[in-house]
Amino acid sequence: MKLLSVIVPCYNEEENIRDFYDELMKNSAFFQNRELDVEVIYIDDGSKDRTVEKVKELAAQDGRVHLVSFSRNFGKEAAICAGLQKAKGDYAVMMDCDLQDPPALLPEMFRYIDEGYDSVATRRVTRKGEPVIRSFFARMFYRIINKISKTEIVDGARDYRLMTRQVVDSILAMTEYNRFTKGIFGWVGYETKWLEYENIERKKGETKWSFWKLFLYSIDGITAFSTVPLAIASFMGLLFCICAFLMIVFTIVRKMLFGDPTSGWPSLVCIILLCSGVQLFCLGIVGQYLSKTYMEVKRRPIYLVKEEL
Ligand code: UDP
Ligand code: MG
């Protein structure tokens, strides 16, 4: 018998704990045929509702259900990391609690693993049911990050992914604090099969991601997997130096040909504003990397466990 670890990050998902379990166990026959034992690890990411109680109820009925409860909300990336660390399985799969990642896809995923793939990932091909602005910025983010990062980050990729033990260990070997999972998966490589499906709307409860949270997350992603913005900062510096040099030559020549009438106050203000704007912008870019480095250097734990079952 091989063991499959199902990792489920939950943040305020009391309504979904049971539904998810039921949906997953519809695969029981498949698990038996494939000679798979299953462990379900719910990672409670500091929920403020009755998520923990619900998981405990389940665990009392089924010994295969485990709980890791964080001391506060550490974010989904931390939850995934904790899940992978706790997983003992020969295979591990991450799924959202809200049933947007259909467990019914598991048999198909295992078919590809049996064919020799190291991991099977999923991506949604439509962004149906998502606000237009959000889709637009999401598309832009993927376009930008794939231009400036060597790591491939697939548009629409979900965190729903089945992996072999080897891939899990590789991911765990990355000990960084700033964990941008979508990038980490791409970075470790291995043979990955992509399955596509239509976006499925959340069954119950609400999305935990506001537009602002997503925006900050995208900056995390860019700083974690590209240093091109730093190069842009130096490039802009160079560009402005060249402009300044040309202006100096122009001013000297004009002075020699036409004398020096005192004009140019408005243009001077424009130049000062532009230059100081660009300087602050570049300083901000450097600051982003500095702050990430600062957090890495502190070596704080990625999450704290309050309770384990
Ligand atoms: N989640 C989490 N911690 C957070 C936010 C979300 O563990 O801080 C979990 C959440 O419970 C869910 C999954 O991550 O199982 C995906 O969250 P959500 O459905 O809100 O995101 P969306 O599908 O809208 O992108
Ligand atoms: Mg969701």
pLDDT digits (tens, 9 = 90+) for 55-64: 998 999 988 9
Q: What pLDDT, on a 0 to 100 scale, did the predictor assign at position 252?
A: 82
Q: Pick the residue whose CA is nearest to atom 13 on ligand 1.
A: 96
State the distance from the centre of ligand 1 to the C-alpha of 96, rounded, in angstroms. Answer: 7
CATH class of the domain whose range is 2-207+302-308: alpha beta
Which two tokens mark 198? 């239509």
State the distance from the centre of ligand 2 to the C-alpha of 197, rounded, in angstroms. Answer: 14
Q: What pLDDT, on a 0 to 100 scale, did the predictor assign at position 253?
A: 85
Q: What pLDDT, on a 0 to 100 scale, did the predictor assign at position 228?
A: 87
Span 240-267, average pLDDT: 80
Q: Pick the residue whose CA is nearest to atom 16 on ligand 1.
A: 96
Q: What pLDDT, on a 0 to 100 scale, did the predictor assign at position 164?
A: 94
Q: What is the pLDDT of residues 38-49, one digit of tens each?
A: 999 999 999 998
Ligand closest in space to the Cα of 42 = 1
Q: By the 8 A CB rule, do 197 and 102 touch?
A: yes
Q: What is the pLDDT of residues 63-107, one digit of tens each?
A: 899 999 999 999 899 999 999 999 999 999 999 988 888 898 899
Give the residue extent of every domain in the chain.
2-207+302-308, 228-298
State the distance from the centre of ligand 1 to the C-alpha of 246, rounded, in angstroms. Answer: 53
Q: Pick the residue whose CA is nearest to atom 24 on ligand 1.
A: 207
Mean pLDDT of the chain: 88
Q: What pLDDT, on a 0 to 100 scale, did the predictor assign at position 85?
A: 93
Q: What's the Cα-to-Cα distance from 162 to each of 105, 119, 142, 175, 257, rounded to whole Å?
A: 10, 5, 23, 21, 74
Q: What is the pLDDT of residues 186-245, one digit of tens each?
A: 889 898 999 888 877 777 777 878 888 888 888 888 888 888 888 888 888 888 888 888
Q: DSSP state, 205?
A: S
Q: By the 8 A CB rule, do 160 and 239 touch?
A: no
Distance, C-alpha 93 to centroid of its chain: 16
Q: By the 8 A CB rule, do 13 and 51 touch?
A: yes
Q: What pLDDT, on a 0 to 100 scale, did the predictor assign at position 94?
A: 94
Q: How many CB atoms lie within 10 A of CB 278?
A: 15
State the distance from the centre of ligand 2 to the C-alpha of 91, rounded, in angstroms. Answer: 23
Q: By the 8 A CB rule, do 240 and 271 touch?
A: no
Q: pTM here?
A: 0.80
Q: What pLDDT, on a 0 to 100 scale, did the predictor assign at position 210?
A: 83
Give residue 68's region: left, alpha or beta (phi > 0; psi -120 to 50): beta
Q: For residues 149-166, b (16+ Cβ closer than 10 Å) or e, as one string?
A: bebbbbebbbbbbbbbbe
With CA atoms as reference, report the closest residue to 59 among 35, 82, 40, 74.
40
The model's confidence at residue 261, banded by pLDDT at 50, 70 and 90, is: low
Q: What's the Cα-to-Cα distance from 42 to each of 12, 72, 112, 178, rounded to whole Å?
A: 12, 15, 26, 22
Which two tokens mark 66? 């485990």
Q: Pick the residue whose CA is nearest to atom 18 on ligand 1.
A: 207
Separation of alpha carbons 50 and 307, rounded Å: 15
The model's confidence at residue 247, banded by pLDDT at 50, 70 and 90, is: confident
- Please choose from 7, 11, 74, 197 the residue to mutate so as to test ligand 1's pocket, defined by most ligand atoms within 8 A of CB: 11
Which two tokens mark 223? 């700083």
Which two tokens mark 60? 């009392």
State the distance from the centre of ligand 2 to the C-alpha of 237, rounded, in angstroms. Answer: 42
Q: By the 8 A CB rule, do 91 and 79 touch?
A: no
Q: What is the pLDDT of residues 124-145, one digit of tens each?
A: 887 777 788 888 888 889 899 8
Q: Pick the residue whose CA is nearest to atom 12 on ligand 1.
A: 96
